Amino acid sequence: MESVLECLPRGSRVAILRLRSLGDSVLTTPALDILKRARPDLRVAVMVEDRFRAIFEENSDVDAILPPDLGALRRMAPRLCLNLHGGTRSAWMTALAGARYRAGFGHFRRQFVYNVRIPRAQQILGVERKVHTAEHVASAMFYLGAPKCEIPRAKLAPTSDAGETACATNASRVPAMVGQAVSPANHAVLHPFASGPGKTWRADGFLAIAEHLKQSGTDPVFIGGPGDNLSPFRNFRTISGAPLAEIKQLLATASLFVGNDSGPAHMAAAFGLPVVVIFGASDPAIWGPWRTASEVVTAPGGIAHVEAAQVLDALTRLRVHV
């Protein structure tokens, strides 16, 4: 039986519905790489909320970025609509896209929407273990007909028009090749926030790491979103609420990332930085740094019990000069 990709006429349009989530968006990019290598002739569009648009900007595997709007989807007229989000809204958009092939994972609700039901990643990959999110998303491409291969690192590109902004460092900006490590500057990015208390390491721990980095000659830069309280870190350089395009540029020229399990950690891994991630409630096997030099730090009893010495030891194992 022919695969879906084999059935798509040359130059067909493919819509990928991601909609939201920073980490999930970053970890979708390896799958896009696999799809485009299998069928470089396809015209691939990613549908995502504007606040996450920068993740896919200047990605050579993405031909268009669509707002999460049914009209935009129908005007694109995709031959294949692949729902990677799985929620109610994305399901109905998939149903009404007008696509010949409507694909979604078998565990999604509203299965009647899909005429291509993608099985468990374990079944596709031939394993019986926890799979990383990057593997889970990539498995969809294998099921659709892309040749099985090693799943690559996530791909991000610094936005060319990010300009000299609040994210600018004292070091000169270094151009980055998409999906590859870049030449580092002498600053480390620290992200002390996460989606909930069970994933957030205490501020004094991050302060201890920042002080140690500063004493060793590395400039700590704390980043946070518009609603994050950066006041505990005011003695260091802080960047609050910067657009993702600017955070990409900052990470592209950094030498190190230290943070909680969160979207910026996945962005840092995509640029090939040495990454230390402090984990609490989430599972590192599913959400750990993907394909970069990394250390995961945990403690029995949860993230509140992680000690600064553990994080410093992780930096030493990464052979980061501290």
Q: Classify residue 181: in a domain, yes or no.
A: no
Strands 275-278 and 237-240: unpaired
Is 140 found in the same domain as 264? no
Q: Classify residue 90: in a domain, yes or no.
A: yes
Q: How confident is the model at residue 233 (pLDDT cuts 50, 70, 90)?
A: very high
Is 192 found in the same domain as 119? no
Q: Which residue has the tokens 């980055």?
A: 176
Average pLDDT in the chain: 92
Q: Which residue has the tokens 């501020």?
A: 203
Beta strands in the chain, from DSSP E residues, in sequence order: 13-19, 43-48, 64-66, 80-83, 101-105, 116-118, 187-191, 219-224, 237-240, 256-260, 275-278, 294-297
Q: How many structural domains comprise the chain? A: 2
Is 114 found in the same domain as 232? no
| Token pair recorded at residue 273 | 């930085």
Is 140 found in the same domain as 8? yes
Buried b or exposed e, range 36-67, using 16+ CB within 10 angstroms: bebbeebebbbbbeeebbbbbbbbebbeebbe
Coil, helix or strand at residue 46 = strand
Q: How confident is the model at residue 293 (pLDDT cuts 50, 70, 90)?
A: very high
Q: Classify residue 78: in a domain, yes or no.
A: yes
Domain assignment of residue 303, given as a range: 187-317
Q: How confident is the model at residue 139 (pLDDT cuts 50, 70, 90)?
A: very high
pLDDT for residue 166: 37
Q: Classify residue 97: in a domain, yes or no.
A: yes
pLDDT tens figures, 297-318: 999 999 999 999 999 999 999 9
Report the percentage of the chain scoring pLDDT > 90: 89
Side-chain half-sphere of 51: how many Cα atoms within 13 Å? 10
Q: How confident is the model at residue 271 (pLDDT cuts 50, 70, 90)?
A: very high
Q: Which residue has the tokens 């600064």?
A: 308
Measured distance between the N- and C-terminal CA atoms of the chain, rounded to whole angstroms: 56
CATH number at residue 29: 3.40.50.2000
Side-chain half-sphere of 223: how many Cα atoms within 13 Å? 29
Whether residue 320 is predicted with pLDDT greater than 70 in this model: the reply is no
- Pair 137, 144: CB distance under 8 Å: no
CA 69 to chain centre: 22
pLDDT for residue 159: 74
pLDDT tens figures, 65-86: 999 999 999 999 999 999 999 9
pLDDT tens figures, 167-176: 333 332 333 3
Is 231 found in the same domain as 139? no
Q: Can you give the pTM of this predicted structure?
A: 0.91
Is 271 found in the same domain as 195? yes
Q: Classify residue 297: in a domain, yes or no.
A: yes
User: What is the phi/psi pair of residue 162, to 5°?
Assistant: -60, -35
pLDDT tens figures, 169-210: 333 233 332 333 434 569 999 999 999 999 999 999 999 999
Is 122 found in the same domain as 250? no
Q: What CA–CA distance (Å, rounded) separates 193 from 196?
A: 8
